[in-house]
Amino acid sequence: MTAESRRERVEEHDSVKVCVRIRPLSSKEKQEQTKSCIRITASMDGLSNSNAKSSRDTSFGQSKEPQQLIVGKDRAFTFDNILGTTTSQSDTYKTCVEPLVQGFLEGYNATVLAYGQTGTGKTHTMAGTGFDARGLEKNGELQGIIPRVSEFIIRSRGCAQLILKLFMLLLAISR
């Protein structure tokens, strides 16, 4: 990689990126016939999602254009990426995290922060249900971000021995 292409890569990834993942309705919410109050009015590579089956259940990937989330009748929020209710763990990783990990391996700093209310899917997204400390291959599709990053770093180094320091902070404030 030339110095010029490295500079372009840094400029492309030098700011904070915000990805939002919308969890599907829970069994209880479906049983109570709860309706989602969220609409996604996003574009992906300039294409509107108006032809999608349902803007509430659409999965979006990386877009060069900001994507907008409508909450209720009149609240709009803009994000770099909006991941709909059908987005897989793999697509979440590839869209929001893999570019950071690749930059990290080139010497850049990277942070992934999961934030939200209780029950919104932070632990599922970060750890998944396919993680097993004895082996990362337990259930690949259900793996969260942490095991995917660990596996990517270990495999990309191709070393017989690798010392990896992972710091994880879980902060919960209850009243």
Could you write out the DSSP letters of every residue in 150-167?
HHHHHHHHT-S-------
Look at residue 53 in the predicted model and tell me its pLDDT: 37
61 is in an annotated binding site: no
Are 63 and 96 contained in the same domain? no
Q: pLDDT (tens digit, 0 to 9) for every residue of the chain, 175 residues total?
A: 555 655 555 556 557 889 999 989 989 999 999 988 888 875 543 333 333 334 444 444 555 677 888 888 888 988 989 998 999 999 999 999 999 999 988 888 899 999 999 889 998 999 888 555 554 455 678 889 998 998 888 888 776 666 667 677 777 777 7
Q: 147 and 138 in contact (C-beta within 8 Å)? A: no
Considering the domain architecture, whether residues 94 and 78 belong to the same structural domain is answered as no
What is the rounded distance in angstroms from the CA atom of residue 52 to the CA atom of residue 171?
Answer: 38
Number of structural domains, the chain? 2
Residue 123 known to bind ligand: yes
DSSP 8-state assignment for residue 40: E
In a domain, 151, yes or no: yes
Tell me whether residue 120 is annotated as binding.
yes
The residue out of 56, 86, 116 marking a domain boundary is 86
Q: Flag whether 174 is in a domain.
A: no
Q: What pLDDT, on a 0 to 100 scale, did the predictor assign at position 57?
A: 43
Same domain as 120, residue 62: no
Which range of residues forms the domain containing residue 110? Answer: 88-160
Task: Establish whether 53 is an annotated binding residue.
Answer: no
Contact 81, 68 (CB under 8 A): no
Residue 2 is assigned to a ligand binding site: no
Query: What is the three-class DSSP state of 47?
Result: strand
Looking at 86, 111, 145, which one is the last position of a domain? 86
**Residue 55 confidence (pLDDT):** 40
**Residues 151 and 96 occupy one common structural domain:** yes
Q: Please indicate, yes or no, whether residues 75 and 92 belong to a single structural domain of this protein.
A: no
Using the 3D structure, point to which of 30, 61, 86 is the last residue of a domain: 86
- The pLDDT assigned to 138 comes to 56
